[in-house]
Amino acid sequence: MRTVFWEDNQVKMIDQRVLPARFEVVAYSDHKSVARAITDMVVRGAPAIGATAAFGLALAGFESASTSTGDLLADLRAAASTLKASRPTAVNLAWAVDRVMNKVSSLQSPSADSLRQFILDEAQRIADEDVEINKRMAEHGAALINDGDTIIHHCNTGALAAVDWGTALGVIRTAHEQGKKIHVLVDETRPRLQGARLTAWELQQYGIPFEIISDNTAGYFLKAGKAQKCFVGSDRTAANGDVANKIGTYMLALAAKDNDVPFYPVVPTSTIDLSLSHGDQIPIEERDPEEVLGLEFKGERVTPKNAKARNIAFDVTPNRLITAIVTENGIAYPPYEKSLRRLVLGE
């Protein structure tokens, strides 16, 4: 089953807040609820939220009672800005919404109803293409994995983070299907535990051997020579190859570099933002401190009452720590200013 899909005039998605305890699919009939689902991380992962926002825009079209194309376009523009504001770091969100809106603007005098159908078709195309792109990326990335490798993976970048298959975890899955024996060390990924909850759940489904480690354990395995590669995703990659990804990625990359372990972000070209020259320009989401403070151990809250916390959701890994960047169009090596432009624009 896909992570997000359109069925019975609704946007449906796997509720990632309750996995692995429960597998539930939730349905939304209006774009504001879809935007809230993205903010609340019912659905998460850069490619998944891009496709979800595109389907949200399709809902906005059907929600609008406007009979004139002009009025419908005004409603769509308002919905587009609501959806784009739902999370700031992953550029796929704006990329998907802008792709639909740009195509809509280029249509020659469409009727309101044909516009509604066009948006739904385009959202479906984005979703279908995502799966195909992930599989191409996975083929390129799997060539970097050797039989017997132990791989450290951060956050969740699997089928749940995309429409299907996934980015970095998709690479691992393809290498496994090619018959390579792989072991995955799964960073639990505080504070929302996407690794311990979602990546571990996915690896179990695929039959890939893994062990969950607390995030601060990765350095131990890297220094001991017990991990041969690190694979991660990205929410936004700047033109110079700086990579914004789930908080903790930067520390993992530092420890990998210090121990000469290759570090590979796996990045669809929709995640590359060539308008930003370097990673410090990437907007970084800060979330509710309660996600850090509310952690329970043996049924008790671990933090003292009235304690304060910071909950920075992403960090930027500078390009000097990155061995290569895997995209669906091939693998980019330094200098990334040139190699990424070539893979994104064909220059």
Which residues would be at the binding site for ligand MRU (CB under 6 A)? 44-47, 90, 155, 157, 161-162, 167, 194, 233-235, 245-246, 313
Query: Closer to ligand MRU at the Cβ: 249 or 323?
Result: 249
Angle, CA 211 vertex, CA 150 and CA 181 arms, to 5°: 40
Helices (H), 181-302: 194, 200-206, 218-223, 249-258, 290-293
Angle, CA 102 vertex, CA 97 and CA 104 arms, to 5°: 95
Catalytic-residue membership of 235: yes
The answer to whether the beta carbons of residues 227 and 183 sit under 8 Å apart is no
User: In angstroms, what is the minimal distance from the CB of 123 to ligand MRU?
Assistant: 18
Query: Closer to ligand MRU at the Cβ: 116 or 176?
Result: 176
Judge residue 225's burial from the number of C-beta atoms within 10 Å of its C-beta, 0-12 exposed, 13-18 middle, 19 or more buried.
exposed
CB neighbourhood size of 75 (10 A): 16
Query: Per DSSP, what are the bridge partners of residue 150?
Result: 183
Query: Cα separation of 138 and 149, whole Å?
Result: 16
User: In angstroms, what is the minimal distance from the CB of 157 to ligand MRU?
Assistant: 4
Any idea of the CA torsion for 100, 270, 36, 117, to the nearest 10 degrees? Answer: 20
Q: In what order do the strands lie in the sheet with 10-14?
A: 4-7, 10-14, 25-28
Lookup: tokens for 197: 């909850």
The answer to whether the beta carbons of residues 291 and 192 sit under 8 Å apart is yes
**Residue number, nearest CB to ligand MRU:** 233
User: In angstroms, what is the minimal distance from the CB of 135 to ligand MRU?
Assistant: 14
b/e 269-284 (16+ beta carbons within 10 angstroms → b): bbbbbeebeebeebeb
User: In angstroms, what is the minimal distance from the CB of 155 to ligand MRU?
Assistant: 4
User: In angstroms, what is the minimal distance from the CB of 72 to ligand MRU?
Assistant: 31
Query: Per DSSP, what are the bridge partners of residue 315?
Result: 245
User: In angstroms, what is the minimal distance from the CB of 190 to ligand MRU?
Assistant: 12
Residue with tokens 């980019």: 332
Query: Closer to ligand MRU at the Cβ: 90 or 133?
Result: 90
Query: Closer to ligand MRU at the Cβ: 86 or 234?
Result: 234
Please pick, among 235, 242, 273, 315, the residue that the annotation labels catalytic: 235
User: In angstroms, what is the minimal distance from the CB of 179 to ligand MRU?
Assistant: 25
CB neighbourhood size of 210 (10 A): 21
Query: Closer to ligand MRU at the Cβ: 151 or 313?
Result: 313
Helices (H), 64-182: 69-84, 91-105, 112-142, 168-177
Query: Closer to ligand MRU at the Cβ: 61 or 248?
Result: 248
Query: Closer to ligand MRU at the Cβ: 190 or 246?
Result: 246
CA 241, distance to chain mean position in Å, is: 17
The catalytic site residues sit at 235
